Amino acid sequence: MRLSRHTLLALALAGGVAQAQEHPYLAYYALTELPGAIRVEWTLLGGSTCDGQEVERSTDGVHFSRVHRIDGLCGDPAVAVPFQWVDPAPPELSTVSYRIKLGFEGYSSVRSVDFLQLVSSEQRFFPSPMGDDATLLLNVPGNAPIDLRVFGPDGRLVRAYTGLQGPALRITLPGAAPGAYSYMAETNGRAFQGRFVKE
């Protein structure tokens, strides 16, 4: 005896069988981090009755807003239909969550990816003010060797790092006095500099 999709879903929700997929019409759903973007891919198997699909995005995993819409019927009852959308402007330095609204058929599960890239700026220091640890993120290739120097409130060198691998550099200043510090990073003929506050 073959059970319908709706019967399988009801059994899965009731604990009768293990749910093989997170939505009865989704055969595939994945996020891929790209340079400066995130690709959202999904494949529908069935769902020919839903009208339109929406990709929703969130930075807290709770409050979502629509970032893309596909009009028309959602799928085909006989063949798998793949879809893809590339988010050209995901929020920098954040965990980005997505879900897909399948017309009147409900939502996919929430999928998330850490997007630790700089797109609109060349460098970012966080948090500032810092405690004992902070991160300097530079818009450089991941294999670029970076030399980093940190200067104290009096202008004296307090830390020097050589041959670090970017783009994220961890800075530790345990026991250092509070105040305004500065840094200079150099890689492949490029220089980055900035200031930050230590609590």
Of the candidate ranges 63-72, 97-106, 107-116, 137-146, the one whose mean pLDDT is the lowest:
137-146
Full-model pTM: 0.62
Burial class (CB in 10 A: 0-12, 13-18, 19+), 24: buried
Query: Cα angle vertex 136, ends 192, 131, to 5°?
Result: 130
- Rounded to whole angstroms, how far apart are CA atoms 38 and 86? 6
Query: Which whole number is the average pLDDT over 61-73?
Result: 92
- For the chain, give every domain's residue range: 5-13+21-115, 123-198
Q: What is the mean pLDDT of residues 34-56?
A: 85
pLDDT at residue 18 tops 70? no
Fold held by 5-13+21-115: Immunoglobulin-like (2.60.40)
Task: Evaluate if residue 15 carries a pLDDT over 50.
Answer: no
Residue 48 binned pLDDT confidence (cut-offs 50, 70, 90): low
Give the residue-averaged pLDDT of 127-142.
88
Q: What is the CB neighbour count within 10 angstroms for residue 147?
A: 14
Q: CB-hemisphere CA count at 13 Å for 31?
A: 22
Residue 161 Cα distances to 14, 143, 184, 188, angstroms: 57, 16, 11, 15
Q: What is the mean pLDDT of the chain?
A: 84
CATH of domain 123-198: 2.60.40.1220
* pLDDT beyond 80 at 6: no
What DSSP line would sit under the chain, residue for residue?
Answer: -PPPHHHHHHHHHTTSS--SSSSTTEEEEEEEEETTEEEEEEEEES-TT-EEEEEEEESSSSS-EEEEEEEEE---SSSEEEEEEEESSPPTTEEEEEEEE-GGG-B---EEEEE---SS-SEEEESSSBSSEEEEEESS-TT-EEEEEEE-TTS-EEEEEEEEESSEEEEE-TTPPSEEEEEEEEETTEEEEEEEEE-
Please give the Cα distance from 53 to 70 (Å, whole number).
Answer: 5
Reply yes or no on whether the pLDDT at 96 is more than 90.
yes
Identify the band that residue 84 occupies on the pLDDT scale cut at 50, 70 and 90: very high
Confidence of residue 194 (pLDDT cuts 50, 70, 90): very high
Name the range with the highest mean pLDDT among 17-21, 68-72, 153-157. 153-157
Is residue 195 over pLDDT 90? yes
Mean pLDDT across 50-59: 90
Counting residues of the chain whose pLDDT is more than 90, the rounded percentage is 54
pLDDT of residue 192: 95
The pLDDT of residue 14 is 38
